[in-house]
Amino acid sequence: MRTFRYTVPPEDDGRLIKRVIRGRLGLSHRQFVLLKGEDGMLLDGTPVHANQIVRAGQVIQVRLAEKGGAPEARPGPVDVVYEDQDILIINKQAPLPCQASSRQQGDALEHYLAYRFRDQPSFTFRPVNRLDKGTSGLMAAAMNAHAQMVLSQALHGPGFLREYLALVEGVPPEPWGVVDAPIGKAPGATVRREVQPQGKSARTHYQVLSTGRGVSLVRLRLETGRTHQIRVHMAYLGCPVLGDFLYGRECPSLPGRFALHSARIALTHPQTGALLDFSAPLPPQLQALCP
């Protein structure tokens, strides 16, 4: 059970508690419905109905019951960089899918996390920014449904920074720039994306850090979050990510993965409002290929 507290400010005086909870705490309709069925709304410690009027200075408490939904627990390496009762920051290895599916058989990050939190029956893996199986590095996950919703809403805005490091084939046309090219699903494809006029807007900022031996080390920052965005945009520039078998070619030195690493995440904590900033260096496997 996760409890959130909110002291009613003067501007919310006289409002219905349901309006305050939905607007100020950002609860989804489904979460709010669950609250009503479980005496999850309290005003100054007393359960109240959704149409209760609140007054400035009163304290609203919201009690969110967590539903268990963990997959099979399997022991495996998982690097948790930061953990509290609202969020997890994980440094994911590669190749490793975030979640199992019909196309992703075998172990997944969710199995390892289920084992790590096997003493918490209510634990559910709630990834916020997913990483491809072949991408390593930092990703955020929520520890409860409220935090997941708040972080997901912030994901594609200025309050959630995502920076990557990539080794790409060749040298980009400029030392820095922005790839502003819409991305859509390739005709007849299940996974593959491509730049196409009718696609969804996509913007990737890049900076070339070093070049040599036919490759470049590039820092990238996502402004949007389309599927395979960095991989598609780098291939669009004529510099596919090294080892990217879908948009370029495989690299014998990178079995099962490609040279893309989530190197930095900065976000606003969904409960405290604190700014959190995390970095993860390139894994040795990619450092060895740097120019």
CB 107 within 8 A of CB 96: yes
The dihedral through the CA atoms of 102, 103, 107, 109 has a sign that is negative
For 220-255, b/e burial (b = at least 16 CB within 10 A) is bbbbeebbbbbbbbbbbbebbbbbbebbbeebeebe
180 is catalytic: no
> Which tokens hold the place of 132?
């491809």
CA distance 207 to 281: 17
Which position among 79, 132, 180, 244 bears the catalytic label? 132
∠ CA 141-2-268, rounded to 5° = 45
Q: What share of residues in the chain are helix, strand, coil (percent, to 5)?
A: 15, 30, 50
* Cα-trace Rg, the chain: 22
Q: Which single residue is written with the structure tokens 């989804």?
A: 28
User: How many residues in the chain?
Assistant: 291
For 150-187, b/e burial (b = at least 16 CB within 10 A) is bbbebbeeeebebbbbbbbbebbeeeeeebebbbbeee
Sheet strands (E) in the chain: 2-7, 41-43, 46-47, 59-64, 79-83, 87-92, 126-127, 136-142, 160-169, 176-180, 183-185, 193-195, 203-212, 215-222, 260-268, 275-279
CB 261 within 8 A of CB 95: no
Catalytic residues: 132
